[in-house]
Amino acid sequence: MRAENSGAGLLRFITAGSVDDGKSTLIGRLLHDSDGVYDDQLEWVKKASATAAGGLDLSYFTDGLRAEREQGITIDVAYRHFATKRRRFIIADTPGHEQYTRNMVTGASTADLAVLLIDARQGVLPQSRRHAYLSALVGIRRVAVAVNKMDLQGYRQDVFEQIRLRFLEWLAPLGFVEPCFIPVSALGGDCIVERSTRMEWYTGPTLLEYLETVTIPAPESNGGVRFPVQLVTRAGGDFRGYAGQLAAGALRVGDPLVALPSGLRTQISSIVTYDGDPAEAAAPAALTLCLAHEIDLSRGDMLADPAQPPAVGRDFRATLVSLAAQPLHCDTPYLLKHTTRLVCASLRSIAHRVDIETLQPVPSQELRLNDIAEVVIQTHQPLYFDTYQDNRVTGSFILIDMLSNQTIACGMIREDLTASGSQIPRMAKPVHSGLTVWLTGLSGAGKSTISNGVYQVLAARGWQLEMLDGDVVRQHLSKGLGFSREDRDENIRRIGFVAGLLTRNHVITIVAAISPYRETRAQVRASIGSFLEVYVNAPIGVCAERDPKGLYEKARTGQLRGMTGIDDPYEEPLSPDLECRTDLETLPESVAKVVAAIERVLEWREA
429: in domain: no
pLDDT band of 607, cuts 50, 70, 90? very low
Which CATH number is 543's domain given? Answer: 3.40.50.300
Q: Taking residues 91-97, report their average pLDDT.
A: 67
Last residue of a domain, one of 213, 241, 264: 213
Residue 66 pLDDT: 39
Residues 482 and 598 in one domain: yes
**pTM score of the predicted model:** 0.65
pLDDT digits (tens, 9 = 90+) for 4-16: 443 347 898 988 8
Q: In the prediction, which pLDDT does 178 show?
A: 86
Among 150-159, 301-310, 508-517, 559-568, whose mean pLDDT is lowest? 559-568
Residues 6+ apart with CB under 8 A from 400: 334, 335, 336, 337, 406, 407, 408
Q: Could you tell me which residue, 567 or 241, shows the higher pLDDT?
A: 241
Domain assignment present for residue 91? The answer is yes
**Sequential DSSP letters for 79-124:** EEEEE-SS-EEEEEE---SGGGHHHHHHHHTT-SEEEEEEETTT-S
Closest CA to 524 of 548, 553, 549, 501: 501
Lowest mean pLDDT among 227-241, 362-376, 553-567, 575-589: 553-567
- Report the pLDDT averaged over residues 154-180: 92
- Closest by Cα among 272, 318, 306 to 291: 272
- In terms of domains, do 131 and 77 share one? yes
DSSP type of residue 546: H
Quick one: 61 and 105 in the same domain? Answer: yes
Bridge partners for 379 per DSSP: 345
Residue 504 lies in a domain: yes
Could you say which of 182, 213, 244 is where a domain stops?
A: 213
Residue 4 domain-assigned?
A: no
Question: Which CATH number covers residue 336?
Answer: 2.40.30.10
Residue of 109, 396, 451, 515 marked active site: 515
pLDDT at 173 over 70: yes
Q: Are 343 and 461 in contact (CB under 8 A)?
A: yes
Residue 400's DSSP bridge partners are 335, 407
Give the per-residue pLDDT at 406: 86
Across 22-31, average pLDDT? 82
Half-sphere exposure of 314 (CA within 13 A, CB side): 13
Q: Which is more confidently placed, 483 or 261?
A: 261
18 & 106 share domain: yes
The confidence band for 551, taking pLDDT boundaries of 50, 70 and 90, is confident
Q: Is residue 426 part of a domain?
A: no
- Exposure pattern of 76-105 as b/e (b: 16+ CB <10 Å)? bbbebebbbeebbbbbbbbbbbeebbbbbb
Residue 106's pLDDT is 67
pLDDT at 7: 39
**Most trustworthy range by pLDDT among 35-44, 71-80, 101-110, 554-563:** 554-563
pLDDT > 60? residue 54:
no
Percent of the chain with pLDDT over 70: 85
Among residues 304, 337, 367, which one ends one of the domains? 304
Q: What is the mean pLDDT of residues 421-426?
A: 46
Task: Give φ, ψ of 436 to 5 degrees.
Answer: -100, 120
Residue 36 pLDDT more than 90? no
User: Is residue 147 predicted with pLDDT exceeding 70?
Assistant: yes
Please name the residues in contact with 401: beta carbons below 8 A apart, sequence gap of 6 or more. 324, 334, 335, 408
Q: Is residue 427 one of the residues assigned to a domain? A: no
**Is the per-residue pLDDT at 283 higher than 70?**
yes
Q: Is the predicted pLDDT of residue 420 greater than 70, yes or no? A: no
The pLDDT value recorded for residue 65 is 37
The residue among 318 and 546 whose pLDDT is bigger is: 318
Q: Is residue 428 part of a domain?
A: no
Domain assignment of residue 459, given as a range: 435-606
Distances in whole angstroms, Cα of residue 564 to Cα of each of 133, 258, 438, 548, 576: 58, 57, 18, 16, 19
pLDDT level of residue 427 (50, 70, 90 thresholds): very low
Mean pLDDT of 529-540: 94
Residues 198 and 240 grouped into a single domain: no
- Same domain? 405 vs 277: no
Domain identity same for 42 and 95: yes
Residues 14 and 158 in one domain: yes
Rounded mean pLDDT, 247-256: 93
Query: In the chain, how many domains are there?
Result: 4
pLDDT of 68 higher than 60: no
Give 290's pLDDT tier (boundaries 50, 70, 90).
Answer: very high
pLDDT band at 389 (very low <50, low <70, confident <90, very high): confident
Alpha carbon 304 to its chain centroid, in Å, reads 23
More confident residue, 146 or 130: 146
pLDDT recorded at residue 111: 84
> What value does the mean pLDDT take over residues 158-181?
92
- 369 and 480 both lie in a single domain: no
104/419: higher pLDDT: 104
Residue 425 within a domain:
no
Query: Which pLDDT value is given to residue 70?
Result: 43
Kindly report the backbone phi and psi dihedral angles of residue 62, in degrees, each rounded to the nearest multiple of 5, phi listed first. -120, -35
More confident residue, 207 or 485: 207
Average pLDDT, stretch 216-244? Answer: 80
The pLDDT score that the predictor gives to residue 6 is 38
- What pLDDT sits at residue 41? 59
291 and 327 both lie in a single domain = no
pLDDT class for 2, splitting at 50, 70, 90? very low
Q: How far is CA 117 from CA 81, 174, 180, 312, 563, in A?
A: 20, 17, 12, 40, 64
Catalytic residue list contains 128: no
d(CA 106, CA 368): 19
Q: Which of 126-130, 161-165, 265-269 has the lowest mean pLDDT?
A: 126-130
Q: Is residue 61 very low, low, confident or very high in pLDDT (cuts 50, 70, 90)?
A: low
pLDDT for position 536: 96
C-beta separation of 221 from 283 below 8 A: yes
- Residues of the chain above pLDDT 90, percent: 43
DSSP secondary structure letter of residue 2: P
The whole-chain average pLDDT of the chain stands at: 83
Which of 326-335, 413-422, 446-455 comes out lowest in average pLDDT?
413-422
Same domain, 287 and 350: no
Work out the pLDDT band at 593, boundaries 50, 70, 90. Answer: very high
- Of 17-21, 174-178, 214-218, highest mean pLDDT: 174-178
On whether both 324 and 300 belong to a single domain, the answer is no
Residues, the chain, total?
607
Q: Which region among 42-51, 268-277, 373-382 has the lowest average model confidence (pLDDT)?
A: 42-51
